[in-house]
Amino acid sequence: MSRFTLAAASALSLAAMFPAAPASAQFEQQSVQFFLAADVDGDERLTLDEFRTFIRLMADAGAPMSVRIDRLSAFRVAFAQVDTNGDGLATPAELRAAESRN
């Protein structure tokens, strides 16, 4: 099997895995999993380090905003935008609010 065929086949199976689910719902569900994965100490809030992990996971999944943040290494800037109360921690509520602003 040529590399081209392989790429085409994997694109097809990806499309089959995620049929008609709206992209936003898709990412929302994934972002919960990524949040839990990134939250190393399990306090349900992300430090800047944990936030970086979270964005990388999101970027790997193809979330456009996260891809951009990852590409620009703009973690600190993005974190400051998410952490609206400035306590150095991104809560799920703050992340959700930031997502709906974008």
In angstroms, how far is CA 89 from the centroid of its own chain?
A: 16
**Piece of the chain touching Ca ion by CB under 5 A; list 13-21, 22-30, 40-48, 62-70:** 40-48
**Which token pair is 69?**
């943040």
Cβ of residue 10: shortest distance to Ca ion, in angstroms? 34
Q: Does 83 bind Ca ion (CB under 5 A)?
A: yes
Q: Which residue from 31, 35, 39, 52 is in contact with Ca ion, where contact means CB under 5 A?
A: 39
How far apart are the C-alpha atoms of 36 and 44, rounded to whole Å?
Answer: 7
Cβ of residue 83: shortest distance to Ca ion, in angstroms? 4
Q: Does 41 bind Ca ion (CB under 5 A)?
A: yes
Half-sphere exposure of residue 7: CA atoms within 13 angstroms, side-chain side: 3
Report DSSP state, residue 90.
B
Compute how many other C-beta atoms are within 10 angstroms of the C-beta atom of residue 34: 22
**Piece of the chain touching Ca ion by CB under 5 A; list 18-26, 42-50, 56-64, 70-78:** 42-50
Binding site for Ca ion (CB under 5 A): 39, 41, 43, 50, 83, 85, 87, 89
